[in-house]
Structure 1
Amino acid sequence: MAASEFSSLPRPEQEKLLSLLFEHSQVFLDYVLPVCQEPAQSWEELIERIRGHLRTMLKTPDDERIPGIIAAHPRLGAKKVDSALSQAEQASLQTASARETEQLAELNAEYERTFPGLRYVVFVAGRPRSVIMDDMRERIAKKDIEAEKRTAFDAMCDIALDRVAGLGDKI
């Protein structure tokens, strides 16, 4: 389907497609669907429009919707991941040694203690575990929750762009 057709789809189909690209979060869908009603010339244009709208949300740092949107993404290395696309993207993390799995679980816990209500979101596809875990450590050390929200929203949009590219004509 062409991106230009998205705005003419019934809302349930729009929600299903955005949930495929971004992970399902009703809070996210309710927030971004209004800016998706103007036709886009490409999926990239639509996703960048969503990115801009998410950044607008960040102007109100205590907006209680932000954690709910970010937490829709699965924890890195989680055994149970609902989204088939997330499962595929995180496949390399599932082959970790027992020690690496333990370290990743510890980092997830430390991240969530440092940034209550948030979940670490990063573009994983094709990146080694060591690079991802180093990035996680660096972000934890900065202790900048506003930067984390922005980084998570940007990662969500980068992931969506990659998913669009990977899905091609299957959208």
Structure 2
Amino acid sequence: MALPAIEVFKASSQSEQKQVFDHLFEPCDTLANFIFGKVMVQPFSSYQEFIELVRQELIAFVRLSEFSQARNGGEINPIVNQIIAAHPRLGEPKKEQLSVHSSNEQKSLNGDPEVIQKLKEMNETYEKTFPGLRYVVFVNGRSRHEIMDDMTRRINRRNIKLEREEAFNAMCDIALDRAHKLGVKL
């Protein structure tokens, strides 16, 4: 698949635009609705600008949600976790339906049964440490050990606020990489 020209994308129907979102990000109706409401109403002239607007709006949204949570008590806005949880767990492709892009990006992680088992254990630890979240990282070009070291560092840091922001930043870094692979010059 190649992405349509940015002008064509902007003029497309919502269902066609959602197909592009699903290629750049992981398929997620919650994220699509967020993008329609917060990003598609703003001006942008390239996919890079579009993705950076998504990043800006997601980071602003998570910070506002955390401020509201701190001020009023209660839980973080569930939309935050729904968007982050749309990403697949690393190293567990058999349990989840991976997008074509995630499958290709995770190829280097799959193969060694010991690594797969270790990633499964680390995913469980991560999700117990950060309920409602998934570990999201830009995998492409990084070794299994680099990924596991990063996951360990983030688990040990135990800072859910930073995790949410890192997840949104990683999602947008992944989207930029996918756009490039889908023929967009960045």
Range 27-36 or range 107-116, more displaced: 27-36
Give the TM-score normalised by the residue count of structure 1: 0.94
Q: Which of these residues, 59, 79, 83, is aligned with residue 65 of structure 1?
A: 79
- Per-residue deviation, 1:6: 1.9
Residue correspondence of structure 1 range 1-171 to structure 2 within 5 A: 1-34=4-37, 35-58=39-62, 59-61=64-66, 62-80=76-94, 81-95=97-111, 97-168=112-183
Give the TM-score normalised by the residue count of structure 2: 0.87
Q: Which amino acid aligns with 2:46?
A: S
Identity of aligned residues (%): 43
Q: Which amino acid aligns with 2:81?
A: P
Q: Which runs of 4+ in 1 moved over 4 A?
A: none
CA distance in structure 1 between the partners assigned to 2:14 and 2:41 by the alignment = 10
CA distance in structure 1 between the partners assigned to 2:16 and 2:171 by the alignment = 20
Q: Conserved in 1, the CA contact under 8 Å of 2:93 and 2:103?
A: no
Q: Conserved in 2, the CA contact under 8 Å of 1:3 and 1:46?
A: no
Q: Classify the secondary structure of the residue corresponding to 1:23.
A: coil
In the TM superposition, what whole-angstrom CA distance separates every residue of 1:59-118 from its partner, at most 9, and x where no partner exists? 2121110111001000001123420000000001112x2221111110000000000000
In the TM superposition, what whole-angstrom CA distance separates every residue of 1:130-167 from its partner, at most 9, and x where no partner exists? 00000000000010001000000000000000000011
CA distance in structure 2 between the partners assigned to 1:98 and 1:84 by the alignment = 22
Q: Which amino acid aligns with 1:46?
A: F
CA distance in structure 1 between the partners assigned to 2:101 and 2:41 by the alignment = 25
Unaligned runs of 5+ in 1: none
CA distance in structure 2 between the partners assigned to 1:87 and 1:124 by the alignment = 11
In the TM superposition, what whole-angstrom CA distance separates every residue of 1:4-45 from its partner, at most 9, and x where no partner exists? 332211000011110111001111111111312445211100
CA distance in structure 2 between the partners assigned to 1:127 and 1:37 by the alignment = 35
Q: Conserved in 1, the CA contact under 8 Å of 2:84 and 2:133?
A: yes
